Amino acid sequence: MQKRTNNPLLHLLSWLYGCGVGFRNFLFNQGVLKGETYPVPLICVGNITVGGTGKTPHIELIVSLLSPSYRIAIISRGYKRKSHGQRVVTRTSTVSEVGDEPRQLGLKYPHVRIIVDGDRRRAMRHLMSLPEGERPDVVLLDDGFQHRYVHPSFSILLVDAQRELHEDTLLPVGTLREPASARYRADCIVLTKCPSNLQPINLRIMQRNLALYPHQRIFFSRVIYRDPAPLASLVRDSKHTAHDPQHQTLPSGTSVIALAGIASPNPFYDYLERHYKVVSRITFQDHHNFRTKDLEHIRSVWQREQAIVGVDEPVYIISTEKDAVRLFDLKQQLGDELITRIFYLPIATEILYNPEDFKKMIFQAAKALPSGLRPHL
């Protein structure tokens, strides 16, 4: 349930913001502003709310489905990176150069071409200019729902099941980037972060609240947490690897410090509370760029908790996967001792109820061209 505010200034700003967004969408809908089409299937994965809806795990799910059969490229703006212009993500790219989520994707899928560029059209021109043998068969637009200058052949809109659209309002009163009616531009809506015990009656209520058109597909997904992995295992040629038997697993009940710098950390904290003895929490804002003082704070919390627990029982730090990517780039400042005590919690996405239908839909989308380029029957 969204918190309401009675601040008249915020409501005025929300109304003005809505007018601006509505006018921009009107210009696109009338063809005054035009989205460019390209001779390649282009799947957009995005949302219309601020805050985490799980875009990166869903991009990873689509990559895992398609990569055995297709050559894939991903375009991302590289949120909060410090560089400018266009960047191609490589194994040696840093978070400051490309952003944390593209860096995370690049480490997991080195065979996938990832372009970081706030100008999606420029990124598409780069991909289309590649030699035929390197040109992607499918392009994924990460967080591209509002970037209408590139016209996708298939759009997937993610909606947090805990923040349904009909309960939300436009910024700055609520968290909507666009009116909830923007959902009708999507070919598919995925309600994310659903509880694993979601009851059929709740499923039908959420589906009814969206009031979708008959041609729109709807799916439900949930987050799956994997076993914690050592921070050093993010890169294979790291000094400390996942094959080090001393740092392979963390037994249930281990004393840990939970570290999160994501939009919605509570599910992460809840999971750790159920499986480990959480002695402290360290929370940062989403996409937080760690500075020296942050690393010193992390170190001091770890030293404090280790002193309380005692030398006979090691205390570990478990971070989110996105935070681990940022922390790894600072491994020299963290030092070898602390590096061996930091783990991260990998996550994945699971489609509930009908995963085969979702897979079939994605493969169909991987063959579809934008409407303006489809052959007339």
- Considering its fold, how many domains does the chain have in total? 2
21 in a structural domain: no
Task: Give yes or no: residues 218 and 179 share one domain.
Answer: yes
50 annotated as ligand-binding = yes
Strands 113-116 and 87-88: antiparallel
pLDDT mean over 282-307: 95
269 in a structural domain: yes
Task: Give yes or no: residues 93 and 170 share one domain.
Answer: yes
18 annotated as ligand-binding = no
- pLDDT value for 199: 86
Task: Give yes or no: residues 148 and 45 share one domain.
Answer: yes
CATH number at residue 306: 3.40.50
93 in a structural domain: yes
Task: Give yes or no: residues 200 and 68 share one domain.
Answer: yes
**The whole model's pTM is what?**
0.91
142 in a structural domain: yes
Query: Residue 331 phi/psi, 5° resolution?
Result: -60, -30
37 annotated as ligand-binding = no
53 annotated as ligand-binding = yes
Q: For residue range 366-375, what is the model confidence (pLDDT) as tens digits?
A: 998 876 554 4
- pLDDT value for 370: 73
The band of 4, judged by pLDDT with boundaries at 50, 70 and 90, is low
99 in a structural domain: yes
254 annotated as ligand-binding = no
6 in a structural domain: no
Give dist(CA 11, CA 172) in Å, integer: 8
CATH number at residue 41: 3.40.50.300
Residue among 260, 297, 325 nearest 89 (CA): 325
Other C-beta atoms within 10 Å of 336: how many? 11
Q: For residue range 89-134, what is the model confidence (pLDDT) as tens digits?
A: 998 999 999 999 999 999 999 999 999 999 999 999 999 999 999 9
Task: Give yes or no: residues 308 and 357 share one domain.
Answer: no
Task: Give yes or no: residues 300 and 362 share one domain.
Answer: no
Q: For residue range 178-232, what is the model confidence (pLDDT) as tens digits?
A: 999 999 999 999 999 998 888 889 989 999 999 999 999 999 999 999 999 999 8
52 annotated as ligand-binding = yes
pLDDT mean over 48-61: 93
55 annotated as ligand-binding = yes
Give dist(CA 361, CA 217) in Å, integer: 9
Q: For residue range 319-342, what is the model confidence (pLDDT) as tens digits?
A: 999 999 999 999 889 998 999 999
- pLDDT value for 243: 40
349 annotated as ligand-binding = no
Task: Give yes or no: residues 262 and 169 share one domain.
Answer: no
The boundaries of the domain holding residue 219 are: 32-225+351-372
